[in-house]
Amino acid sequence: MSEEILTTQDLHLYYGDKEALKGINLDFTEKGITALIGPSGCGKSTYLRTLNRMNDLIPNVTITGTIKFKDQDLYSPSADTVQIRKEIGMVFQQPNPFPFSIYDNVIYGLRIAGEKDKEKLDAVVEKSLRQAAVWDEVKDHLHESALALSGGQQQRVCIARVLAVSPEIILLDEPTSALDPVSSSQIEATLLNLRHDYTIIIVTHNLQQASRIADRTAFFMNGELVEVDQTKNIFMNPAKKQTEDYISGRFG
């Protein structure tokens, strides 16, 4: 078992006075894929967004508890959100490429960080697009608009865009739910490729998807973490009744 890279302790989150996360304790070890599953509105996205402080953008959010990324307290007053988000990247439900060329999309983070060396940028573009398994499809029109791509290709370009700033952790919030089955399975293949090099946390509504790609699965309900275990245990042999009910499709 490798080092713990990210730990959450007694994490509560309130939207106004509504408690959306009710004391989550969940740790992630380095590398591999963890899936977060649970019924709609149980707080999966909310939890995921606390991990790179995207919830800071929403007014009236109160967060208590601790999240540590390699011993660094993410919510300490001295924490640098910009740096945190470089190390903990995020891919969203709707593919959101910028309205620029594919090339510019991928290197945007680096270019703004001041990288000018053309050869280096070219290399990063190729490497990231290859890692995101979309290189072959786009290599001949890197300088065309990313918006002209299919939804699935856009999503993989967005993954490449995150990879290009070399994060350690990648958060994905239902990255395939807006895509067709073929594109979805390409994204899954992409993630399986990446699991050796990155710590991946993915929210999904698709239980088959979780069982196909995740090493570990965490089941959330009503703002609480019900149980977390190796994926095969969760699906074959859950410890909690609620998990079993959810897995077998009795609710949610």
Partner 1 sequence: MNSKTQNKMAIGALYGIAGFVVLILLALLGYILISGTPQLSWHFLTAPAKAFLKGGGVGVQLFNSFYLLFLAMLISFPIALGAAIYLYEYAKNNWLTTTIRTAIEILSSLPSVVVGLFGFLFFVVKLRLGFSILSGAFALTFFNLPLLTRSIEDSLRTISETQREGGLALGLSRWETVTKVILPAAVPSILTGVILSAGRVFGEAAALIYTAGQSAPALNFMDWNPFNISSPLNPMRPAETLAVHIWKINSEGIMPDAKAISSGSSAVLVLAILIFNFAARYLGKRLYKRLTSA
Ligand X SMILES: Nc1ncnc2c1ncn2[C@@H]1O[C@H](COP(=O)(O)OP(=O)(O)OP(=O)(O)O)[C@@H](O)[C@H]1O
Least distance between partner 1 and beta carbon 139 (Å):
15
Q: Is 231 in the site for Mg ion (CB under 5 A)?
A: no
Q: Answer whether 69's CB lies under 8 Å from 87's CB.
A: yes
Q: Answer whether 15's CB lies under 8 Å from 60's CB.
A: yes
Q: What number of other Cβ atoms are within 10 A of residue 62's Cβ?
A: 12
Q: Answer whether 30's CB lies under 8 Å from 2's CB.
A: yes
Tell which positions 190-249 bind ligand X, by CB under 6 A. 205
Q: Answer whether 165's CB lies under 8 Å from 106's CB.
A: no
Tell which positions 101-140 bind partner 1, by CB under 8 A. 108-109, 112-113
Closest Cα to residue 163, out of 110, 238, 220?
A: 110
Query: Site mask, partner 1, residues 23-62, x = CB under 8 A?
Result: -----------------------------x-x--x-x---
Pick between residue 173 and residue 234 the one whose CB is nearest to partner 1.
Answer: 173
Pick between residue 25 and residue 41 the one whose CB is nearest to ligand X.
Answer: 41
Which residue in 8, 34, 46, 52 binds ligand X (CB under 6 A)?
Answer: 46
Least distance between ligand X and beta carbon 39 (Å):
7
* 3-class secondary structure, 221: strand
Pick between residue 45 and residue 55 the one whose CB is nearest to Mg ion.
Answer: 45
Rounded to an integer, what distance in angstroms lies between the CA atom of residue 24 and that of residue 90? 20
